[in-house]
Homo-oligomer: A and B are copies of this chain.
Amino acid sequence: MALRRGFRHVVALAGGVGGAKLVEGLAKCLPDGALTVIGNTGDDFRHYGLHVSPDLDTVMYTLAGIAHPVNGWGIADDTRHMLSMLARYGEETWFGLGDHDLATNILRTHWLAQGMPLSAVTARLCQRLGVTTCLLPMTDDLLATVVYTVEYGRLAFQEYFVRHRWQPTVQRLVYEGAEAAQPAAGVLEALETAEAIIICPSNPLLSIEPILQVRAIREAIKARRAPCLAVSPIIEGAALKGPTVKIMRELGLRADVAGVSSYYGDLIDALVVDEADREVDIQQRRFVTNIRMMNSADRVRLAEEVLLMIGDLA
């Protein structure tokens, strides 16, 4: 409880499922209102006219306690009846929109069409679900991660990730719209007033880099006074989830904890690695612990340890 009182404001950068796990732990360790999450919207896309924000929703559903316990994304016990009817119409069903999940996407699309920025939409959705953590999209502008692949050429992110199950070989990632994208309202203020910045164990290239591609966000982190610490999404050269290692290899990066370390470089002051990686050479200060989050208790434990490490850094 000393820890909880110790921080008044912590910022976490998070992608989808992996990031949401640590976010949940942090939300439980910190006082109400002390956590701001900056979420990735590089995965956002329009699907049958609906504005889908997969990473924001994963964080929101996790914090609301309604996330699917196995998948990590989507809503627990959701059904897919709309999708089955879409199939009857001969339409595409590769993107698994659940019926409950649809309500989120319909509301978001409706409110955006009314002129609300995504940040305000996200705040309202969170508030309605009783989520007290502040969840901010990195930007209210369009910034789309686009994947150039050997097999299919240019793929929109969800086509690469969901439709082709991240199997195509990545040649190049492009973050379209990055030049013009401004941080969403509240993002810079959060970074500037944070006592600590935590980069969650999300895919550095697919989940964190789109956030950093908003120039003002990267600059704010570079100019930080507070410590910035990342938790590795890789253990012993294997990704905790998804294509992290595969993509890093395909792009010619070292695909292990050392690769993560050089990827973030001086953006972070410390990297939290698993016990299995205690010997790997990294550029920043190293913290070692068990970074696997297999259940809710693990999430809280790791979050508490991370907050302790930050206390150690400061």
Instruction: Give the interface of A toward B (CB within 8 A).
Output: 48-50, 75, 78-79, 81-86, 88-91, 98-104, 106-107, 109-110, 113, 125, 128-129
Please give me the residue from chain B that is nearest to A86 by CB atom: B103
Q: In the complex, which residues of chain B have a beta carbon less than 8 angstroms from the beta carbon of A75?
A: 85
Name the residue of chain B whose CB is nearest to the CB of A111: B49
Q: How near does chain B come to A47, taking the closest CB pair, in angstroms? A: 9
Residue of B nearest to A90 (CB): B128
Query: Contact: B49 with A113, CB < 8 Å?
Result: yes
Q: Which residues of B lie under 8 Å from residue A48 when comparing CB positions? A: 106-107, 110
Chain copies in complex: 2
> What does DSSP make chain A's interface, helix, strand, loop or mixed?
helix
In the assembly, what is the distance between CA of A98 and CA of B100, in Å?
Answer: 12
Q: Which residue of B lies closest to A91 (CB)?
A: B107
Q: What B residues does A78 contact at CB under 8 A?
A: 81
Given contacts A89-B107, A106-B48, whether A100 and B84 have CB atoms under 8 Å apart is yes
Contacts of A84 in B (CB 8 A): 100
Q: Out of B85, B103, B106, B113, name the residue touching A100 (CB < 8 Å).
A: B85
**A34 CB, min distance to chain B CBs, angstroms:** 25
Residues of B within 8 A of A79 (CB): 79, 81, 99
With contacts A99-B82, A106-B82 taken as known, whether A89 is within 8 angstroms of B129 at the C-beta atoms is yes
Q: B104 near A85 (CB under 8 angstroms)?
A: yes
Task: With A78-B81, A89-B104 given, name 10 new contacts (CB 8 A).
Answer: A49-B106, A79-B79, A81-B98, A82-B82, A82-B103, A85-B104, A86-B107, A88-B128, A90-B128, A91-B103
